[in-house]
Structure 1
């Protein structure tokens, strides 16, 4: 992959951002040196590893590799018999602790969870816990070795503390001597060059026998080691030397133990660096919401809702772009600042990222090709140092691309052959595009030349595209429309900005008729496109409505099927019960027959049993007849019903409230608790003493109130979205109205949420004397989001 295109497409900014997500120094260097690959197997493997790392990060959080530190120089020293210092041993300890933490992160929660592409890396880690724990036991920090690192060190330090105490005791005794105190500049014990001293006034030097180790900057104070503690200080110095020697022995011992595991330590470092690199890619990809694209070797590009990763994700407009399936060249036209260059860079940069093993910011099912090289001529190529104009610099780059590009390359041109005479520039541009087209090289180019638009329209395998521009607002929409050539919109923009119609019309006359007709054709195409898009949006809306109605019908049919199955199941159970009873009766009769055949039967006992069988048969026949009569004959069919009347539905054995008047066939709707069903008037019996229309009911003011309430009060109240105080106030009034309307039960919708509203509703229901009972909705009634309350 040529280095120039990496700079042109700003790939270097991508790897710089990637490096920010890495922990280790070597990992950051690897991120900065990451280059696109041309091997499909390498690309696929890298993409799969990054995808698996993204999945693990979403489930368990980001992998922490903060303890990775290079130890190559220390390891080489140990290999030749050297010793690690304290800082290097602590670095090794942190590395092993990181390996232990990372291995625990990669451990599967259950054995049935399948392995992924990272499982082998996690399994290859060796935390070397005994070595790690030994280092941590012996070394507390960079400046401190534990007393328990060895028994000899513990003994030496005990002697050091004892000797120090003796020195302090001796010096404190001198400080308490008045003659000595008169000679001191300050009554403290200090230390100089590792030896305990007293600050003595310069003029009293002769009165304190000892060795002078230092003096103050002014010369007024001398730091003297009294002769009484010289031997003790010498002993302390010897003990300090022994302590350093013992620490050196401890470090050598720890280094020797580490030397036994050098291959495992190096493997741990390599694996941790690899995992740090993979999870850095995953963390960066999650930031820009990247996906793993599909790769092909047919040089096909199909990017859905692609976004440039360096632009603000909240403002960037996703684009859909394809190349290589129906056409191998795409010519993008349109006004300046419309997003043409961004479209080019998006395709090129996403291709580079994908081949580098990075997910791309696009929609699912996006597809990329594996290119051996990508070439781009984008931006201002003017070179003052080489005394080249913009056109010359571009042409130099284009000549290089013509020499190097082949069938496995992707070529991107921005404003091809601009910066020179339009006629000659357009001719050159068409020739260059024709050359690439003849070789089958995938090419994208932006242009303002009408000749190139016509070339794309009239040549097979080349497609026009445009970046949409809203003339009304004089602003680009940044939408990329493939199959439609774009207009420059110079006249429309100028008129919108205030240029006089006279100048605009004069400019139009200076355009050739062919060019004018072509621009008019583009205008007609644009108008047709907008109309088609509006109609398509309306069609999609109708499709959505039809799909919703279809789903509702399907759900209704499923409920009917469930009801039918329940009825059939119940009928079968009853039939089985009847058959079982008949079998039991027959078995009893056969047993009696056999018994009476061998013995002399009692006439009274036989008659008694026959009477029992006859009574059972009569009872079953009576029950069947009663059910049949109830289902067919109703002597109390209401002659006249009003909305709000309380009725009993005989076939369901339920009471309810009339919610609609009968039609010509006698069908009407009755609300039975939460169930609203259509029944026939022949299946109803008016409940006289509770009917709002009865004389008894209407005698009082309360009766009239119930009649009016029953016609307007719903059997359900929705409290979702209300605060507890608001909901209880509404519920209290609603329960009063429902009770006056003589509703048997009501349905209170409060939602699931945190459960606070449900608890408040049920607490309120407990305090109401006219509430008989309440319970949460069952399956099909709303579950825990609904409470059903029944009145007394």
Structure 2
């Protein structure tokens, strides 16, 4: 494809003829390979809509700036930042649910936090391009206002969930106590199970000499024909019915305590998520705008990559300003 585009850009025929000879379907497919976000893919493949001169010139300005960055290999960090964001339509759905009063789950809030952090980084690198894209989309994003609105959310949320998506149980003031107690309880259960597995009661009827966890219950596997009700509660059985997974009565209280602690931790996390959702709800539309700007930047980056190969042919749009020429070139502009 690159060879074909390069050869076309060196044609001696008129630019108009060269434009008409380009295989725009192939060019669309080539641009598509460089696009990250799902909605940017949809935007690329929209039906042809003739653009006015102002829009074409805005696009050309953005593409020229991005092409320069591409030639100077200064876009790797942008692609790295994009790869940390949610590319699918589901993220827009989450923002829609937020605006309608839903409490977002922990990892949906994590996606929002990454979006805001990404915006700050991208704005620091190519703030001028973001402004041009906002003009193109007829949107207004006030950088200082965005950082002010979301700085408290980011600082508080990152106490709960790291940038890598790890829950900071031991570092969060509300989770630390229950989490430490949970770890101690689990350690007690594991120690007790090791003793049970070595005991004369179970040693000869075990199917597997290790414990397992099924539906949040610590269990051991014994032969079904050796089961007695005094051994413990049946939690599950194998498909063949030859193996029973039981929770020994001697650890039942500890297991119930563990389940209660897990429920308490889940409740605390839900309360935190609800608080953050309430704080973010008035700004759901702004978050949607930031995501839309990134998706358009993604599309422009992909187009700029192909534009480099098209070379002087793209300039023909401005010289041959006619409906025919800019309809032909719509995948780039």
- The normalised TM-score by structure 2 is 0.73
Once residues 51 and 241 of structure 2 are traced to their aligned partners in structure 1, the CA distance between those partners, rounded to angstroms, is 77
* Bigger Rg, structure 1 or 2: 1
Counterparts of 1:296 and 1:116 in 2: how far apart (Å)?
27
CA distance in 1, matches of 2:133, 2:109: 29
Over residues 237-256 of structure 1, what are the superposed CA-to-partner deviations in whole Å (9 max), with x where a residue is unaligned? 22222222222122222322
- The answer as to whether partners of 2:24 and 2:331 remain within 8 angstroms in 1 is no
**1:29 positional shift:** 1.2
Q: 1:118 aligns with which of 132, 152, 155?
A: 132
Match of 1:221 among 232, 240, 243: 243
Deviation string 1:264-311 (CA, Å, 9 cap, x unpaired) is: 312312322232232222111013334534736897xxxxxxxxxxxx
The aligned residue for residue 81 of structure 1 is: 101
SS of the aligned residue for 1:175 comes to helix
For 1:236, which of 242, 253, 258 is the aligned residue? 258
Distance change in 2, residues 1:352/1:9 (3 Å): farther
- In structure 2, how many angstroms separate the alpha carbons of the residues matched to 1:18 and 1:160? 51
The 8 Å contact of residues 52 and 117 in structure 1, kept in 2 or not, is answered as no
Q: Following TM superposition, by how much is the alpha carbon of 1:155 offset from its aligned partner in structure 2, in angstroms?
A: 1.7
Q: Distance in 2 between matches of 1:352 and 1:16?
A: 17
2:228 partner SS: helix
Q: Of 56, 61, 83, which residue of structure 1 is paired with 2:74? A: 61
Shift of the alpha carbon at 1:147?
0.3
Distance in 1 (alpha carbons) for counterparts of 2:103 and 2:236: 36
Distance 1:46 1:34 in 2: 18
Task: Give secondary structure in 2 for the equivalent of 1:189.
Answer: strand
- SS of the residue corresponding to residue 261 of structure 1 reads helix
Deviation at 1:353, TM superposition (A): 4.4
Q: How much has 1:11 moved relative to structure 2?
A: 3.4
SS at match of 2:35: coil
Shift of 1:75: 1.8
The answer to whether the Cα contact below 8 Å between 2:44 and 2:331 also exists between their aligned partners in 1 is no
> What secondary structure does 2:210 align onto?
coil
Q: Equivalents in 1 of 2:20, 2:250: separation in Å?
A: 76
Closer/same/farther in 2, CA of residues 353 and 234 from structure 1, 3 Å limit? same
Q: CA deviation at 1:351?
A: 5.1
Question: Does the 8 Å CA contact 1:47/1:358 hold for their aligned counterparts?
Answer: no
Q: Work out whether residues 23 and 68 of structure 1, in 8 Å CA contact, stay in contact via their aligned partners in 2.
A: no
Q: 1:68 to 1:289 in 2, by over 3 A?
A: farther
Q: Aligned residue for 1:295? A: 318
Q: Secondary structure at the match of 1:292?
A: helix
Structure 2 match to 1:30: 43
5+ long unaligned stretches in structure 2: 1-18
Runs of 4+ in 1 over 6 A off after TM superposition: 6-9, 119-123
Equivalent-residue separation in structure 2 for 1:162 and 1:32 (angstroms): 56
Residues of 2 paired with 1:295 and 1:260: CA distance? Answer: 42
**Which residue is 1:98 aligned to?**
118
What is the total number of aligned residue pairs between the two structures?
A: 298
| Closer/same/farther in 2, CA of residues 358 and 130 from structure 1, 3 Å limit | same
Cα distance between partner residues in 1 of 2:23 and 2:74 = 30
Shift of 1:208: 4.6
Structure with higher helix content = 2
Q: Cα offset for 1:163?
A: 1.8
Q: Considering only aligned residues, what root-mean-square deviation do their CA atoms show, in Å?
A: 3.7
**1:390-429 alignment to 2 at 5 Å?**
none
On the 8 A contact 1:43/1:357 being kept in 2, the answer is no
Residues 571-628 of structure 1 deviation map (CA, whole Å, 9 limit, x = unaligned): xxxxxxxxxxxxxxxxxxxxxxxxxxxxxxxxxxxxxxxxxxxxxxxxxxxxxxxxxx
* Structure 2 counterpart of 1:196: 218
Superposed CA deviations along residues 134-188 of structure 1, whole A, max 9, x for unmatched, are 4444235898532057433222222222222222333333334334423434432
Q: Which consecutive residues of structure 1, in runs of 5 or more, have no partner in the other structure?
A: 1-5, 109-114, 300-347, 360-792
Deviation (angstroms), 1:92: 1.8
Relative distance call for 1:116 and 1:130 in structure 2 (3 A) is: closer
Closer, same or farther in 2 for the Cα pair 1:34/1:135, shift >3 Å? farther
